[in-house]
């Protein structure tokens, strides 16, 4: 049979090891554990702060600047994401990951030491720079130390960390505030970070695979500046300065000028941080706007709901975290369920329509909250809101991946989450501006002509919610009602913006779902900042997920048929293993695998009868005909993997995609990961002969 030079033929003897194969399982698990610990730091800090915010504001003052404690972190981590990803490719990820941990820990320590709100906001920005690196690099390093075959399983652990922190964050934040101090929300990162740093230094060994990039520093700086200018405008307008003042108008004009400069730079950049060609596709443009609105609603609400619970309803910080759980559970439940339904039905358009509609309904329900609202009522409203967000967040990633070419797969995936993060920054700042501008006049009306305790005035009540406790009971109830109306009105104002996304969702075009598109894990759903991924990394994730779904026996039945061979599945598996390792000992193979001895014995007998292998002592060695048959099986398995990629495996497919399929094929052919039998516990095996 003629050899195809474009495809490697498995030769006798061991093949080159892929990522992770040269390491022991224990070493890989230790390294993964350290990466998960680093990821835990960044993920936890996105959710643990929310329940501590009312106490932080009471201690440091400046309720009107509360939103910037969240916004500074979001903006910094979002802007830094593409830089961390490409610098890691270019200079090596281990040192950069260690640098990100150090930067994050320095920011955490300074946040804990902050003495006023401007200091805390600045230090949160520094912390965000490090946090962005932790998320990006931890996920990228998985690809360096774990083979494509195992990548889906380990990335699932990273998604589980995000899911867990979304639940634990509000609870831990409340516990620290109640029993220690809000400063421990930041100090807790220090011991965890030091442990992660030590383990990374000792256990993490990454192969040197540096790729040169032309890094778009100017584009990154400009997009961050655009976001900062517009967020400043929305957060200061109507609060610190009138909307028509030169300061606010100037910030708006500055944002537009910077946006024009960004567009000009991106058109000429060799590797733009956000390729403008993506916006030529209607699907990406619509999903970007919808993602922006979803981020706007989600992060804005998650920031101010704990304030409502603690200030208006008087629950403790710990209990406010408990009250937030129905929203988180609704979000995770809906995102997981929608992903499964899309995978089974291939239909996705209904979910962004339904998700944005339910989110708008959730905002209207949140607007109905009052100081006397019971736990059942608030939990139901929170759950509905969470379900709405969950229905749309994950689906946007699937829709975009289904619409773009392989070359744009990575940047489009990151781009959607990028717009959700930017939307979150705007949401927090706009919600904060609306709340602050509404609270002051409401308090003034309530307190007009009233006798107040010494040192208590509308300004003091706005700066420190704890001052409400010093008021007489009747007046305290009216002040709490003013707080309640000011917060819940924000949800009412946000509802029309979400309805815009609802209308836009109807214009999404539903196209047949690619076989290669899989539901993203929780890391892409719950994470607040985009994860920089290449198209190669995203294809590896999809192949890992899809490959693990295939049935073991069915795979070998299929590739044996395609190879034109009349062999049992176990014989094909054993033949590939013989070709890979040079020889196999059937009895030893039975001891080390879950395949029953009788199945292995029958496979070995068939290989000998067909003269595909000969005995040399206890070992079975492939003949020339056996090597040729193994080559045909190898090629058939490669074709079955390529088929999973759908139209990405086009005639002009890129080299890196071909290499990925070959690497995965080398790992799977004849491996323990693809055994042609799951074992049979019901039938006792015949006794083995001595």
The distance from CA 42 to its chain's CA centroid, rounded to whole angstroms, is 12
pLDDT > 90: percent of the chain: 3
Residue 504 is encoded by which pair of tokens?
């836009």
Crossing angle between the packed helical segments 409-447 and 217-236, to the nearest 10 degrees: 20
Q: Which fold has domain 544-668?
A: Arc Repressor Mutant, subunit A (1.10.10)
pLDDT at position 206, please?
66
Could you tell me which residues are beta bridge partners of residue 275?
none
What are the residues whose beta carbons fall under 8 Å from the beta carbon of 515, sequence distance 6 or more? Answer: 546, 643, 644, 645, 646
**Distance, CA of 149 to CA of 664 (rounded, Å):** 6
Q: Are 38 and 134 in contact (CB under 8 A)?
A: yes
Distance CA 112, CA 188 (A): 10
Q: pLDDT category, 391, cuts 50, 70, 90?
A: confident
DSSP lists the bridge partners of residue 616 as 619
Separation between Cα atoms, residue 320 and residue 313, nearest integer Å: 9
Tell me if 584 sits within 8 A of 577, measured CB to CB. Answer: yes
Do 544-668 and 277-512 fall under one CATH topology?
A: no
* CATH superfamily label, 24-206: MFS general substrate transporter like domains (1.20.1250.20)
Which of 33-37, 65-69, 309-313, 353-357 has the highest mean predicted lDDT (pLDDT)?
353-357
Lookup result for tokens 């030169």 = 246
Asked which of 330-344, 595-609, 646-660 is least confident by mean pLDDT, the reply is 646-660
* pLDDT, mean of residues 624-647: 80
Of 326, 306, 325, give the one whose Cα is nearest residue 316.
306
CATH topology of domain 277-512: Growth Hormone; Chain: A; (1.20.1250)
- Half-sphere exposure at residue 348, Cβ-oriented, CA atoms within 13 angstroms: 30
pLDDT by residue (tens digit) across 211-266? Answer: 666 777 788 788 888 888 887 787 777 666 777 788 888 888 988 998 899 888 88
Token reading at 112: 């804990």
Distances (CA, A) of 184 to 111, 124, 303, 475: 10, 14, 19, 34
Q: What would the two tokens of residue 502 be?
A: 């609802």
State the angle between helix axes of 148-179 and 117-145 in degrees (0 to 180), rounded to the nearest 10: 160
What pLDDT is attached to residue 670? 59
Q: How far is CA 429 from CA 104, 233, 350, 557, 642, in A?
A: 23, 9, 30, 58, 46
State the pLDDT at residue 7: 38
Q: Write 8-11 long-range contacts (CB < 8 A, 24+).
A: 8/662, 8/666, 9/631, 9/634, 10/576, 10/579, 10/580, 10/630, 10/631, 10/634, 10/666, 10/669, 11/579
Alpha helices in 563-594 (DSSP H): 569-581, 586-592
Helix (DSSP H) and strand (DSSP E) numbers for the chain: 25, 2
Using CA atoms, how far apart are residues 671 and 681, in angstroms rounded to an integer?
22
Q: Are 516 and 154 in contact (CB under 8 A)?
A: no
For the chain, the maximum distance between any two Cα atoms, rounded to a whole number of angstroms, is 103
Residue recorded with tokens 């699937």: 398
CA 562: distance to chain centroid? 38
To the nearest 10°, report the CA torsion of 283, 289, 291, 295: 180
Q: Residue 610 corresponds to which tokens in the numbers above?
A: 């067909």
Give the tokens for residue 594. Answer: 């879950």
Range of 58-67, 235-244, 323-332 with top mean pLDDT: 323-332
- Statement: residue 680 has pLDDT above 60: no
pLDDT tens column, 175-216:
888 888 888 888 888 888 888 888 887 777 766 555 666 777
Q: Tell me, what's the pLDDT at 208?
A: 58
Average per-residue pLDDT for the chain: 76
**pLDDT grade for 13, boundaries at 50, 70 and 90:** very low
SS3 616: strand
85-116: b (≥16 Cβ within 10 Å) or e: bbbbbeebbbebbbebbebbbbbbbbbbebee
Question: What DSSP string describes 112-161?
Answer: HH--SHHHHHHHHHHHHHHHHHHHHHHHHHHHHHS-HHHHHHHHHHHHHH
> Is the pLDDT confidence value at 684 over 60?
no
> How high is the pLDDT of residue 117?
82
d(CA 274, CA 263): 10
pLDDT tier at 450 (50, 70, 90 boundaries)?
A: low
Q: How confident is the model at residue 154 (pLDDT cuts 50, 70, 90)?
A: low
Q: Check residue 15 and give its pLDDT.
A: 34
Instruction: Quote the CA–CA distance of 616 and 403 in Å, as a whole number.
Output: 55
Contact 330, 185 (CB under 8 A): no
Q: What are 643's two structure tokens?
A: 């088929």
Q: Is the Cβ–Cβ distance between 410 and 534 less than 8 Å? A: yes
Domain ranges across the chain: 24-206, 277-512, 544-668
Q: Of 122, 123, 99, 100, give the one whose Cα is nearest residue 110.
A: 123
**Tokens 């702060």 sit on residue:** 49
According to the model, what pLDDT value does residue 625 have?
A: 85
Alpha carbon distance, N-terminus to C-terminus of the chain: 41
Q: Give the confidence band of 14 by pLDDT, cuts at 50, 70, 90.
A: very low
Q: Quote the pLDDT of residue 348.
A: 83
HSE (side-chain half, CA atoms, 13 Å) at 557: 6
Interval 319-325 mean pLDDT: 82
SS (H, E, C) 328-394: HHHHHHHHHHHHHHHHHHCCCCHHHHHHHHHHHHHHHHHHCCCCCCCHHHHHHHHHHHHHHHHHHHH
**pLDDT confidence of 489, banded at 50, 70, 90?**
confident
Tokens of 141: 């390093």
**Block residue for tokens 């309805």:** 499
238/435: higher pLDDT: 435
Q: How far apart are CA 52 and CA 178, in angstroms?
A: 9
Which is nearest to 111 in space by CA: 58, 34, 174, 190?
Answer: 190
**pLDDT above 70 for 487:** yes
- Res. 16: pLDDT tops 50: no
pLDDT digits (tens, 9 = 90+) for 280-304: 888 888 988 898 888 888 777 777 7
Q: Is pLDDT at 690 greater than 50 in this prediction? A: no
Is residue 231 within 8 A of residue 426, CB to CB? The reply is yes
Measured distance CA(494)–CA(622) in Å, rounded: 69
pLDDT at residue 54, as a whole number: 77
Low-confidence winner among 2-16, 62-76, 358-372 (lowest mean pLDDT): 2-16
As a whole number of angstroms, the distance between CA 383 and CA 330 comes to: 5
């Amino acid at each position: 049979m003629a050899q195809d030079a474009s495809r490697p033929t498995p030769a006798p003897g061991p093949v080159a090891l892929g990522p992770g194969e040269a390491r022991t399982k224990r070493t890989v698990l230790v390294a993964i554990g350290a990466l998960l610990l680093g990821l835990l730091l960044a993920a936890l800090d996105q959710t643990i702060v929310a329940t501590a915010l009312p106490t932080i504001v009471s201690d440091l003052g400046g309720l009107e600047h509360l939103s910037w404690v969240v916004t500074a972190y979001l903006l910094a981590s979002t802007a830094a994401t593409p830089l961390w990803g490409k610098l890691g490719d270019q200079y090596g990820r281990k040192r950069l990951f260690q640098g990100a941990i150090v930067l994050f820990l320095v920011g955490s320590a300074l946040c804990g030491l902050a003495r006023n709100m401007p200091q805390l906001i600045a230090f949160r920005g520094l912390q965000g720079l490090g946090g962005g690196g932790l998320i990006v690099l931890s996920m990228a390093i998985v690809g360096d130390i774990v083979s494509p075959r195992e990548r889906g399983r380990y990335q699932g652990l990273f998604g589980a960390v995000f899911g867990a922190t979304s639940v634990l964050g509000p609870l831990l934040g409340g516990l620290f505030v109640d029993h220690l101090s809000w400063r421990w929300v930041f100090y807790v990162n220090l011991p965890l970070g030091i442990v992660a740093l030590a383990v990374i230094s000792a256990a993490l060994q990454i192969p040197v695979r540096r790729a040169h990039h032309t890094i778009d520093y100017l584009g990154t700086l400009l997009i961050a500046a655009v976001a900062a200018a517009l967020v400043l405008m929305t957060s200061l307008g109507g609060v610190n300065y009138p909307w028509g003042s030169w300061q606010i108008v100037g910030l708006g004009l500055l944002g537009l000028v910077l946006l024009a400069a960004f567009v000009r730079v991106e058109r000429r950049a060799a590797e733009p941080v956000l390729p403008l060609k993506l916006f030529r596709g209607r699907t990406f443009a619509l999903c970007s706007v919808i993602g922006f609105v979803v981020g706007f609603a989600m992060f804005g609400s998650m920031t101010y709901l704990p304030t409502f619970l603690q200030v208006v309803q008087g629950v403790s910080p710990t209990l406010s975290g408990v009250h937030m759980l129905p929203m988180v559970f609704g979000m995770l439940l809906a995102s997981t369920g929608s992903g499964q339904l899309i995978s089974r039905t291939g239909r996705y358009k209904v979910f962004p329509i339904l998700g944005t509609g339910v989110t708008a309904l959730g905002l209207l329900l949140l607007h109905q909250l009052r100081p006397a609202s019971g736990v059942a009522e608030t939990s139901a409203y929170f759950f509905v809101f969470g379900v709405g967000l969950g229905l749309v967040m994950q689906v946007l990633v699937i829709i975009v991946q289904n619409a773009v070419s392989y070359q744009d797969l990575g940047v489009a995936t990151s781009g959607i989450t990028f717009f959700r993060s930017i939307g979150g920054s705007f949401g927090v700042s706009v919600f904060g501006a609306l709340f602050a501008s509404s609270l002051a006049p409401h308090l003034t009306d309530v307190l007009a002509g009233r006798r107040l305790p010494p040192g208590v005035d509308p300004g003091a009540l706005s700066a420190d919610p704890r001052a409400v406790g010093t008021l007489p009971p009747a007046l305290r109830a009216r002040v709490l009602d003013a707080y309640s109306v000011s917060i819940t009105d924000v949800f009412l104002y946000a509802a029309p913006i979400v309805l815009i996304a609802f209308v836009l969702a109807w214009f999404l075009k539903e196209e047949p779902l690619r076989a290669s598109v899989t539901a993203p894990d929780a890391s892409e759903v719950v994470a607040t900042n985009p994860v920089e991924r290449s198209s190669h990394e995203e294809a590896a994730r999809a192949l890992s997920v899809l490959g693990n779904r295939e049935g073991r026996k069915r795979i070998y039945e299929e590739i044996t048929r395609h190879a034109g061979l009349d062999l049992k599945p176990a014989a094909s598996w054993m033949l590939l293993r013989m070709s890979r390792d040079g020889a196999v000992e059937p009895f030893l193979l039975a001891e080390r695998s879950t395949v029953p001895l009788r199945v292995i014995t029958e496979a070995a007998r068939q290989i000998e009868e067909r003269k595909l292998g000969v005995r040399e002592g206890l070992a079975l060695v492939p003949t020339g005909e056996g090597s040729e048959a193994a080559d045909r099986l190898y090629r058939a398995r490669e074709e079955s993997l390529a088929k999973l990629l759908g139209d990405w495996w086009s005639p002009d497919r890129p080299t890196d995609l071909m290499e990925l399929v070959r690497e995965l094929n080398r790992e799977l052919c004849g491996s323990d990961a693809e055994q042609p039998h799951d074992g049979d516990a019901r039938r006792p095996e015949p006794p083995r002969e001595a």
